[in-house]
Structure 1
Amino acid sequence: MNASEPAAEPGSTPDARPPVIGLTTYLEQSQTGVWDVRAAFLPQSYFEAVTRAGGIAVLLPPQPVSPVIAARVLDALDGLIITGGKDVDPARYGQDAHPATDEPRPDRDAWEDELLRQALARGLPFLGICRGAQMLNIALGGTLHQHLPDVVGDTRYQAGGGIFNVVDVEVEPESRLHGVLGAQAGPLQVPVYHHQSIDRVADGLVVTARTADGVVQAVEFGSVPFGVAVQWHPEQTAEDIRLFAGLVDAAREYEHDRKAHA
Structure 2
Amino acid sequence: MTTRPVIGITTHLTEAIWDSWDRQRAVLLSARYPAMVQTSGGVAFLLPPDSPQRAPEALTRLDALVVSGGPDLHPAYYDARPHPRTRAVAPERDAWELALLHAALAARLPLLGICRGMQLLNVARGGTLIQHLDHVEEHLGTSQGYGRHAVRPVPGTLLAGLLPESTVSVPTYHHQAVDRLGAGLTVSAYAEDGTVEAVEGGGFTLGVQWHPEQGEDLRVLQALVGAAVVARARRRSGELVPLAE
Tell me the CA shift for residue 159 of structure 1: 3.0
Alignment correspondent of 2:162 = 180
Which of 29, 32, 42 is the matching residue for 1:55? Answer: 42
Give the gaps of 5 or more residues in structure 1.
1-13
Task: Tell me the percent identity.
Answer: 44
Deviations 1:41-73 (A, max 9, x none): 11011110101111110000112221xx11111
Matched residue type, 2:12 = Y
Which of 201, 204, 209 is the matching residue for 2:184? Answer: 204
Alignment correspondent of 2:16 = 30
Alignment correspondent of 2:226 = 249
Structure 2 residue 211 is the aligned partner of structure 1 residue 226:
no
| Partner SS state of residue 155, structure 1 | helix
Tell me the CA shift for residue 20 of structure 1: 0.6
Tell me the CA shift for residue 162 of structure 1: 4.5
Deviations 1:119-174 (A, max 9, x none): 001100000000000000111111111111xx22x422113314211111110121
Alignment correspondent of 1:192 = 172
Alignment correspondent of 1:40 = 27
Q: Kindly report structure 1 stretches of 4+ aligned residues shifted beyond 3 Å.
A: none
Which of 70, 77, 82 is the matching residue for 1:97? Answer: 82
Tell me the CA shift for residue 104 of structure 1: 3.1
| Partner SS state of residue 244, structure 1 | helix
Deviations 1:174-220 (A, max 9, x none): 11111122x32x31111100011111111111000001211000000
TM-score by length of 2: 0.94
* CA–CA distance in structure 2, aligned partners of residues 156 and 51 of structure 1: 30
Structure 2 residue 1 is the aligned partner of structure 1 residue 19:
no
| Partner SS state of residue 14, structure 2 | strand
Aligned residues: 238
Alignment correspondent of 1:113 = 98
| Partner SS state of residue 159, structure 1 | coil
Tell me the CA shift for residue 103 of structure 1: 3.5
Contact 2:141 2:172 (C-alpha < 8 Å) held by counterparts: no
* CA–CA distance in structure 1, aligned partners of residues 238 and 144 of structure 2: 46
Structure 2 residue 136 is the aligned partner of structure 1 residue 158:
no
TM-score by length of 1: 0.88
Structure 2 residue 51 is the aligned partner of structure 1 residue 64:
yes
* CA–CA distance in structure 1, aligned partners of residues 161 and 3 of structure 2: 24
* CA–CA distance in structure 2, aligned partners of residues 197 and 162 of structure 1: 22
Instruction: Specify whether residues 228 and 162 from structure 1 end up closer, same or farther in structure 2 by C-alpha distance, changes over 3 A only.
Output: farther
Alignment correspondent of 1:6 = none
Alignment correspondent of 1:4 = none
Alignment correspondent of 1:87 = 72
Alignment correspondent of 1:10 = none
* CA–CA distance in structure 2, aligned partners of residues 65 and 188 of structure 1: 36
* CA–CA distance in structure 1, aligned partners of residues 141 and 114 of structure 2: 18
